[in-house]
């Protein structure tokens, strides 16, 4: 049995899938006082007491993007490692969300070239001075020039912070893949602001599951329409803050049995258009939080379905209706009515996902093939370690991408692997 749970601010929606059919669906109100834990406990009781109650859940996947709220109490200190400070305000990062949660920026001498060669020595004395000045329990973000190729300065600076500052957390910007210094830093700042929220969610959900289904594997939806172990939410919640739309797209694909093609989801608040490729949503490597805030998280590409957006070359998209207007439309030949919560269904059926993205130096075709093969193997091992049977592991993408206007030997490596059944294999019966 696979269970998907979408948690909103005032409601909780659960869907159970077993033996290729939807065997349970429940909606619970989140009441003041008992809160989410009590609503989730009632949801599990309901889903586990049906006709498939003898089957313990193999996995429970949560969509919690509506719960992730940046902390207004914890402020972030950003350490920028570069050969020199910015020359003017135009070189500061943009974005209201990041600026609101970062109250101090410190420049540290250091940095590397795109080849990974040191430009300037890291000023560890300056890092230590900052660590001793700040009170314990601060959250830090460390971003270094050239760290996407050589993260040594970021790691050395964080080691000093852990030893001297007693921090609540230290985020390395090189762990968010993007060629832009500002985008990596902004992503790390926003992630740091979400950590407290992510940690609370993980703790409360895990406690309930430990009482009702202690053997179940716990996952959380990510912005790309995949699922990762729930523990990742306490480390990188930024990758789950936009997951609801992706979960809905996966749920619509499961209902319609679409592995490849365009899907229109008609909701009460408007229609959106998305594409499935190889059983997973088509994604973008960067996402926006407002007009000027690009962050380094891979997210399903969903667009408002305006007139003229769908071209002839796209074929006829599949239409799935959800919300109040979907009732009584199951027999409508122009679309499929969703009688369960799409995001919860998508969470139940989402494949486990694993990405490996980094900048590498490659000098020959043979070296490129070797690096790709080693990276694919690493992704496969990670998926299997997360509970995916080896026979269900698929590598959707494995390639190197040249960097414009930069050293020709430095390329971006990208490997994307998923584990699980295709949407068309999830359900034996569908409403049409």
Let me know if residue 281 belongs to a domain: no
Position 327 scores a pLDDT of 47
C-alpha 79/C-alpha 107 separation (Å) is: 6
pLDDT tens digit string along 151-172?
Answer: 999 999 999 999 999 999 999 9
- Position 50 confidence tier, pLDDT thresholds 50, 70, 90: low
Asked if the structure places residue 366 within a domain, the reply is: yes
The residue written with tokens 């998209």 in the block is 317
Record the tokens describing residue 204, joined without a space. Answer: 């409360």
At residue 134 the predicted structure's pLDDT band, cuts being 50, 70 and 90, is: very high
User: Is residue 400 assigned to a domain?
Assistant: yes
- CATH number for the domain harbouring residue 375: 3.30.70
Q: Is residue 388 part of a domain?
A: yes
Query: In terms of Cα–Cα distance, which of 51, 53, 69 is closest to 9?
Result: 69
Q: Is residue 97 part of a domain?
A: no
Containing domain of residue 381, as a range? 352-425
pTM for the full predicted model: 0.90
pLDDT tier at 333, thresholds 50, 70, 90: very low
**pLDDT at 1 > cutoff 50:** yes
Is residue 155 in a domain?
A: no
* Structural domain contains residue 407: yes
Q: What is the DSSP letter of 112?
A: B
- Does residue 239 lie in a domain region? no
pLDDT in tens, 54-65: 666 679 999 999
The number of folded domains in the chain is 1
Closest CA to 196 of 72, 71, 67, 35: 71
Asked if residues 242 and 293 have their Cβ atoms less than 8 Å apart, the reply is no
């Amino acid at each position: 049995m696979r269970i998907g749970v979408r948690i909103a601010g005032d409601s909780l929606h659960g869907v159970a899938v077993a033996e290729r059919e939807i065997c349970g669906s429940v909606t619970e109100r989140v009441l003041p006082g008992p809160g989410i834990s009590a609503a989730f406990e009632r949801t599990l009781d309901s889903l586990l007491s049906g006709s498939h109650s003898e089957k313990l859940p193999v996995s429970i996947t949560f969509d919690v993007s509506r719960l992730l709220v940046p902390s207004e109490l914890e402020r972030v200190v950003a350490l920028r490692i570069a050969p020199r400070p910015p020359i003017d305000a135009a070189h500061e990062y943009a974005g209201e969300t990041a600026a609101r949660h970062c109250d101090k920026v410190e420049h540290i001498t250091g940095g590397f070239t795109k080849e990974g060669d040191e430009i300037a020595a890291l000023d560890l004395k300056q890092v230590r001075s900052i660590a001793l000045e700040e009170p314990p329990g601060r959250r830090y973000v460390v971003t270094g020039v050239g760290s996407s190729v050589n993260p040594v300065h970021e790691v050395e600076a964080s080691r000093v912070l852990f030893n001297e500052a007693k921090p609540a957390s230290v985020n390395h910007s090189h762990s968010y893949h993007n060629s832009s210094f500002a985008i990596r830093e902004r992503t790390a700042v926003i992630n740091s602001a979400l950590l407290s929220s992510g940690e609370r969610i993980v703790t409360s959900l895990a406690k309930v599951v430990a009482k009702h289904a202690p053997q179940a594997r716990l996952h959380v939806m990510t912005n790309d329409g995949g699922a990762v172990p729930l523990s990742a939410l306490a480390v990188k919640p930024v990758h789950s803050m936009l997951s609801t739309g992706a979960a809905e797209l996966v749920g619509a694909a499961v209902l319609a049995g679409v592995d490849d093609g365009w899907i229109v989801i008609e909701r009460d608040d408007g229609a959106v258009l998305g594409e499935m490729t190889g059983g997973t949503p088509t994604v973008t490597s960067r996402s926006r939080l407002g007009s000027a805030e690009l962050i380094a998280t891979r997210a399903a590409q969903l667009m408002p379905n305006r007139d003229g957006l769908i071209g002839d070359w796209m074929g006829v998209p599949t239409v799935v209706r959800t919300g109040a207007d979907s009732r009584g439309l199951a027999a409508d030949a122009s679309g499929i009515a969703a009688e369960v919560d799409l995001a919860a269904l998508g969470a139940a059926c989402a494949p486990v996902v694993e990405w490996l993205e980094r900048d590498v130096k490659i000098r020959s075709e043979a070296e490129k093939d070797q690096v790709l093969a080693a990276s694919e193997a690493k992704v496969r091992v990670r998926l299997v370690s997360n509970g995916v049977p080896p026979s269900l592991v698929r590598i959707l993408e494995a390639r190197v991408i040249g960097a414009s206007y930069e050293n020709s030997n430095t390329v971006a490596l990208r490997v994307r692997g998923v584990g699980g059944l295709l949407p068309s294999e999830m359900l034996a019966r569908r409403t049409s």
